[in-house]
Structure 1
Amino acid sequence: MTEDFDVGADWHVAAPYDFLRRLRAESPVFHSEHLGAYVLTRHPDVRAAYGDPRRFSSKGSLTISRSLTAETKERLGEHGSFLSSFVANVDPPDHTRLRRSVSKAFTPRAVAAMEQAFRRLNEDLLDRIAARKQADFVAEIGHEPSIKLTARFIGVPEPDEAFVQAHVKDWFQLFLSPQPPERQLELADSFLTYLDYVDRLVAARAKEPQDDFTSLMTSLIGDELSHREVVELISTILLGGNDTVPNQLGNTVLRLLREGVWPVPPELVANAAEECMRIDGASLGSFRYAITDISLHNVKIPAGSLVLLSTDSAAHDETVFPDPERFLIDRPNAAEHLVFGYGIHFCVGAALGRLQLRTALDVLGRRLPHLGLVPGQPIAYRRSLVGRGLTSLPVRW
C-alpha cells in the first residue's frame, strides 16, 4: 500500500474506514512513515497487545508529541516528560500502585452518586436554553454538564471552570494534535500555566482537605503517591471530563440524528451508547513501545519501536462486528469495542463515562424529542492523532 495515515488530512479522523479496512485485509501490521510507528489494526491483535504489558509497554507512551520542536521541548523543560508517572503511561509495579489509589475514588457507590448530580446539570442547562429552539451542540450543550461534573469531582472551584477548560484544550492541542512551531510555544506557555494551577490546587487541599478527589489523592502523598503523581492524575482526569466524554456525546448525537433514531427508546439507551462508541469512538487508539522483537503476521516489529493500537480499526473489524459500517442500535456485542482499552489499562473512569453518556441521552431525548440537525451545515472534525471530536454541530428543536 502507498497510502498512509495523515493527521493533517480531513479524512484521517472523519472517514478513515475504507483505509483501515484495507489495512486489516492486506497489511494488519502496518508501518506508518507518517506516524513513525507500527500500527495494529485487527481486533484480536489490538486486544492481545493491550493485555500484554510485558511485550507492549505503556512506559512513556503518552509522554510527548513526536512533533514538538527542540525549542518547544526546551520551553517545557522537565514538563516535556509530562505524564511520565500517569497511570496509563507506566507499567507494573508502578501501574498497580497508582491504579489502586485512583480506584478508591471510583467505587460503584461513588459513581452512582454522581448520576443524580449529572442529571441535574443537564436539566439545568436545558432549562436555560430550551426556549431558544437552536444551538451549537458542541459549544452550548454537550460540554458544560461534563465539565461541571468533573470540576466538582476534582474540587475545581466554579469560577475556575472556564480557565481549566481553555487550558485543557491547549493541553490537548500541544501533545495530541500537530501544530506549527510558533503555536507550539504559545500552547507550551498555556500548559505550564495550567500545571501551576493544578499544583497550587493540590497544595491548597493538603492544607485544608475537602470532600473531593484532589483531597483524597493528596491524603495519599508520602504513603502511596508522590506530589507529581497527584498533579498528573488530576490534570489528566480533567482532560477526560473536559474533552473526551463531551466529544463522545457529540459524536453520538450526530450518529443518532443521522440514523433517524432520536429520541432513543429508554430500554435501548445503554446499547445505543455502546454502538455509538464502537462506530464513532472519541478515542482512536493508544501508543505502546515494543519491549522485545515481536513477530506478527510475518512482520517483525523491532524492540524499541513505537506501536499504535488502533481501537478505531478494531471497532470496525468485520470478523468481530458483522457489517461494521452499519449502525445497529441493538447490536448484541457492541460493547466489545476497545474504546476504554483492555486489561490492566482498562480506563478507570469507564463506568463514569458510560453513565454520563446514558444519562445525557436520557435527559436530552426526553427534553428535546424533536432535536434535529440544521440543514446545510458542514460537519467538521478537529485534527488529532488519537481523538475524534466535532468542531461544531448546529442543531434545532
Structure 2
Amino acid sequence: MITAEDFDVSAAWHVAAPYDFLRRLRHERPVFRSEHLGAHVLTRYEDVRAAYGDPRRFSSAGSLTISRSLADGTRRVLGEHGSFLSSFVANVDPPVHTRLRRSVSRAFTPRAVAALEQRFRDLNEEVLDRVASRGGGDLVAEIAHIPSIKLTARFIGVPEEDERFVQEHVKDWFQLFLSPQPPQRQLVLAESFLTYLDYVDRLVAARAAEPEDDFVSLMTALIGTELSHREVVELISTILLGGNDTVPNQLGNSVLRLLREGVWPVPPELVRNAVEECMRIDGASLGSFRHTTVDVELHGVTVPAGSLCLLSTDSAAHDETVFDEPERFVIDRGNADAHMTLGYGIHFCVGAALARLQLRTALEVLGRRLPGLRLDPDAPPPAYRTSIVGRGLTALPVRW
C-alpha cells in the first residue's frame, strides 16, 4: 500500500530515481494528498495536461513560490518582497498573464532566437578551448553552466563583470523561494536576495536612462504603458534563473543520460530528438504548482477548492499510456516531444525555443570536440541537489 508519507520530494532518491514509485502511484493513487508538500499531487499524463489547460479550475496565481514556508523572521526581513514572483508571467492567470506574455514574447521572436545561435556556439567553443587539454574535469561547474550564463547575461543586458555576482545571487533566491530551508539559512538567503533585487533595480534604472540593445531596455521601455516596474524586475530575475540554472541543469542531466546509454557522441541527425528524449526521461523541471478555485473530483478523490496541487510533469513524462516503455531511453522516439517539461498550454515556457537551441548546440559542439567523453570511473556516483521543483546534478566528473 502506497502511503502519502512515501512522497517526499526532498529525499535524494526521489530526485534521482523516483520512477518505479511514480508508476505505482499512477496505477494505485493517481491523485492523493501529500502531507510533506501540503498539496494534492496529480501523477497521470491526461490529468496533468488537463490541469495545465484549465486555469479557471487550476489557478496559477501564487503558484510558483513556497513563501508560505518562510519563517516569521525571514518574512520580516523580506517585507514587501516576501511575495516575490507574485506578478511573474508563470505565476498569474489571464487576463494579466495574457498582457505579460505578449510583452515578453517580443524578445523571443524566431529571428531573435536564431540570431543567438552562433554566439552560443562560440561560447561553447571558447570554454572547450580552455579545458580540452586537461583531459577531464567537472562538466557541471567547468563546462555546462558557463556558456548558458554568458549567453543569458548578454541577452538580458548584464555586464560581463557582473556575471558571477548574478549567478551566485540567483542561486540563493532559488533556494529561498523554491526549496525548503531551515530558518537560519533563510535569513542568509533573504539578505542575498535583497542585494540581488537592488542590483536588478539599478540595472533597470540605468537602461531607462540610457537604453541599449538588450532585454532590459526592451522591457523598461514598456514601463508605464504595458508593464509595471516590479513586473520588469521579476521578468528579468526569472529569465536569469532559466539561463543560470534550468538550461544548464538539463544539459548536465542529458550528458549523463547519453553517456550511461552509450550513445556518445550523438549522431548529428539525432541531436534534435535526443534533446527531447533527454528532457522527457530526465527533465530539469519536475512539475508546477496550482491552486484549485473549486472542488475538483478526480478518480474518486475530492480536491477541495483552495487546495495547492502539484502537477507532476516528471510522472507524466513516464506515463506508459502515452510513452511505450517509458523507462527505456529511445533516442529516436517518435513522440518524445510530447513531454511537458517546458510546460503546456498558455504556460508553455516563453523561452522554450531558446532553451532547445542551447541544448542542441551544446550537444553538437561537445560531441565534436570531446568525442571520447566518458564518466570518471574513480568518481562517486552522481548526486542531485535537493529541490521540490527541479532536477540538477551537483557535479559530474568526466574524462575525455
TM range (shorter): over 0.9
Residue matched to 1:314 = 316
- Residues 64 and 82, structure 1, Cα contact 8 Å, conserved in 2: no
CA distance in 2, matches of 1:261, 1:63: 38
- Residues 64 and 80, structure 1, Cα contact 8 Å, conserved in 2: no
> Aligned-pair distance for 1:71?
1.1
> Aligned-pair distance for 1:64?
3.3
- Residues 286 and 386, structure 1, Cα contact 8 Å, conserved in 2: yes
CA distance in 1, matches of 2:27, 2:70: 33
- Residues 63 and 82, structure 1, Cα contact 8 Å, conserved in 2: yes
Residue matched to 1:239 = 241
Whether 1:392 and 2:395 are equivalent positions in the alignment is yes
CA distance in 1, matches of 2:178, 2:388: 6
Match of 1:380 among 373, 378, 383: 383
> Aligned-pair distance for 1:19?
1.2
**In structure 1, the residue corresponding to 2:291 is in which secondary structure?**
strand
CA distance in 1, matches of 2:68, 2:119: 39
* Residue ranges of structure 2 left out of the alignment (5+ in a row): none
> Aligned-pair distance for 1:302?
0.4
State the AA in 1 paired with 2:361: T
Cα offsets for 1:215-257 (capped at 9, x unmatched): 0000000110000000000000000000000000000000000
Match of 2:222 among 220, 223, 226: 220
State the AA in 2 paired with 1:276: C
Residue matched to 1:284 = 286
Residue matched to 1:24 = 26
State the AA in 2 paired with 1:389: G
Pick which of 43-52 and 66-75 moved more: 66-75
CA distance in 1, matches of 2:9, 2:176: 14
Residue matched to 2:208 = 206
Cα offsets for 1:14-60 (capped at 9, x unmatched): 11111111110001111101000000000011011001101100001
State the AA in 2 paired with 1:16: P
State the AA in 2 paired with 1:381: Y
**In structure 1, the residue corresponding to 2:115 is in which secondary structure?**
helix
State the AA in 2 paired with 1:20: L
State the AA in 2 paired with 1:382: R
**In structure 1, the residue corresponding to 2:309 is in which secondary structure?**
strand
CA distance in 1, matches of 2:385, 2:210: 40
State the AA in 2 paired with 1:151: A
CA distance in 1, matches of 2:327, 2:366: 26
**TM-score, normalised to structure 1's length?**
0.99
> Aligned-pair distance for 1:6?
1.4
State the AA in 1 paired with 2:63: S
Q: CA RMSD in A?
A: 0.8
CA distance in 1, matches of 2:331, 2:160: 37
Match of 2:299 among 297, 300, 303: 297
Identity value in percent = 81
Match of 2:41 among 39, 42, 47: 39
Residue matched to 1:333 = 335
Whether 1:145 and 2:139 are equivalent positions in the alignment is no
> Aligned-pair distance for 1:73?
1.4
**In structure 2, the residue corresponding to 1:62 is in which secondary structure?**
coil
Whether 1:262 and 2:238 are equivalent positions in the alignment is no
> Aligned-pair distance for 1:385?
0.5
Residue matched to 1:128 = 130
Cα offsets for 1:281-304 (capped at 9, x unmatched): 000000000011110111101000
**TM-score, normalised to structure 2's length?**
0.98
**In structure 2, the residue corresponding to 1:30 is in which secondary structure?**
strand
- Residues 64 and 81, structure 1, Cα contact 8 Å, conserved in 2: no
**In structure 2, the residue corresponding to 1:331 is in which secondary structure?**
coil
CA distance in 2, matches of 1:85, 1:64: 15
Q: How does 1:15-94 map to 2 (within 5 A)?
A: 15-94=17-96
> Aligned-pair distance for 1:63?
3.1
CA distance in 1, matches of 2:367, 2:30: 40
Match of 2:178 among 164, 176, 179: 176
CA distance in 1, matches of 2:75, 2:307: 21
- Residues 381 and 390, structure 1, Cα contact 8 Å, conserved in 2: yes
> Aligned-pair distance for 1:172?
1.1
Residue matched to 1:167 = 169
CA distance in 2, matches of 1:197, 1:255: 37
- Residues 13 and 381, structure 1, Cα contact 8 Å, conserved in 2: yes
- Residues 67 and 83, structure 2, Cα contact 8 Å, conserved in 1: no
CA distance in 2, matches of 1:385, 1:4: 14
> Aligned-pair distance for 1:70?
1.3
**In structure 2, the residue corresponding to 1:38 is in which secondary structure?**
strand
> Aligned-pair distance for 1:62?
1.3
- Residues 375 and 398, structure 2, Cα contact 8 Å, conserved in 1: yes
- Residues 205 and 218, structure 1, Cα contact 8 Å, conserved in 2: yes
State the AA in 2 paired with 1:388: R
CA distance in 2, matches of 1:248, 1:54: 31
CA distance in 2, matches of 1:178, 1:372: 34
State the AA in 1 paired with 2:16: A
Residue matched to 2:255 = 253
CA distance in 1, matches of 2:389, 2:38: 14
Cα offsets for 1:116-162 (capped at 9, x unmatched): 11000000111111111111001000000000000000000000000
Q: How many residues align?
A: 397
CA distance in 2, matches of 1:376, 1:396: 10
CA distance in 1, matches of 2:326, 2:138: 29
- Residues 4 and 33, structure 1, Cα contact 8 Å, conserved in 2: no
- Residues 152 and 244, structure 2, Cα contact 8 Å, conserved in 1: yes
State the AA in 1 paired with 2:315: S
State the AA in 1 paired with 2:389: V
